[in-house]
Structure 1
Amino acid sequence: MKKQSVHLEFTTYENLSELPANVASLMQEAIIARDQAYAPYSKFKVGAAILLENGAVVTGSNQENAAYPSGLCAERVAVFYAGAKYPGVAVKTVAVTACNENKDNLHPIPPCGACRQSLAEYEMLANNNIELFFMGAEGAIFKSDSIKDLLPFTFDKNFL
């Protein structure tokens, strides 16, 4: 038996004012999207903003449905819309913010597993790392240089 380890590296920003101006602007777009989320059941609102290689910004918010699990996460709303509206245009940067109306979320909240897999697909499709910035309602922001940092054992087309 051989034991192996996976090394993950993140950059931490203490707050929005520490972010580069273009990323702070993208995160502000994610915050606006988060505030427009439809989350009447969970009260957990998520917003995502995606910067594409062509300079376009696409946003998405989570959309719940009484018939669980028919809703969709903010990250997938945004990335699927980007793929539909701008086919073949690479995703450069993703900003995600989440908050729970029932409690404080001051720790960075990463995308769920399904969203990580969906973002990884677009990263592999473009053969281009996607920067990911994620935060809670406010406070610290984590930055990952690639979706692979959040999903090191990515399932991809090579397995099919």
Structure 2
Amino acid sequence: MKEIEVSSKLQVFESFDELSEEVKSLLEEAISVRKQAYAPYSNFLVGTALLLDNGEVITGSNQENASYPSGLCAERTAIYYAGSKFPEAQIVRMAISAGSKHSITSKPIPPCGACRQAIAEYEVKQSKPIEIYFMGETGTIARSHSLSNLLPFGFDKSVL
């Protein structure tokens, strides 16, 4: 038997003041679009903003449905729109903000498993990492230089 250790390295910022203006702006877009989420069932609002290599900023918010699996997370809403509208563009950076209507979310909220898989697909497609910033409503902000930190042993086309 052989044992393998997997670790992830993230950067954590204590406040917006530690971020570049470009990252602050993208997070502000994510916060703004989070407020437009349609989440009448979970009351958990998520907003995502993507910066593409062509300079475009694409946003998305979670969209729920009474038939729960029919809804779509903010990250996938934004990624799929970007892929549809700008199929040749690469995603440079992603900003995510999440919060509950029931309590203040003060720790960074990473993408869910399904969204991690979708982000992984686009990293493989573009052969370049996507920088990911994620936060709650307040508190610290986490940064991953690539989805591979959040989804080790990813499933992609190489295994098909």
TM-score by length of 2: 0.98
Deviation, structure 1 residue 7: 2.0
Aligned length: 160
Asked if residue 22 in structure 1 is aligned to residue 22 in structure 2, the reply is yes
SS, match of residue 114 in structure 2: helix
> Deviations 1:95-137 (Å, cap 9, x if unpaired)?
0010011112101000000000001111110000110000011
Counterpart of 2:53 in structure 1: which amino acid?
E
SS, match of residue 117 in structure 2: helix
In the other structure, the counterpart of 1:54 is: 54
Asked if residue 4 in structure 1 is aligned to residue 4 in structure 2, the reply is yes
CA distance in 1, matches of 2:93, 2:82: 12
CA distance in 1, matches of 2:145, 2:63: 27
In the other structure, the counterpart of 1:127 is: 127
Conserved 8 A contact 1:16-1:139 = no
In the other structure, the counterpart of 2:38 is: 38
Percent of aligned pairs with the same residue? 53
CA distance in 2, matches of 1:32, 1:115: 20
CA distance in 2, matches of 1:4, 1:18: 35
> Deviations 1:76-99 (Å, cap 9, x if unpaired)?
000000000000211000000100
SS, match of residue 68 in structure 2: coil
CA distance in 2, matches of 1:94, 1:39: 21
SS, match of residue 24 in structure 2: helix
In the other structure, the counterpart of 1:75 is: 75
CA distance in 2, matches of 1:154, 1:63: 26
Deviation, structure 1 residue 155: 0.3
CA distance in 2, matches of 1:7, 1:76: 25
Moved over 4 A (4+): none
**RMSD across aligned positions (CA):** 0.7
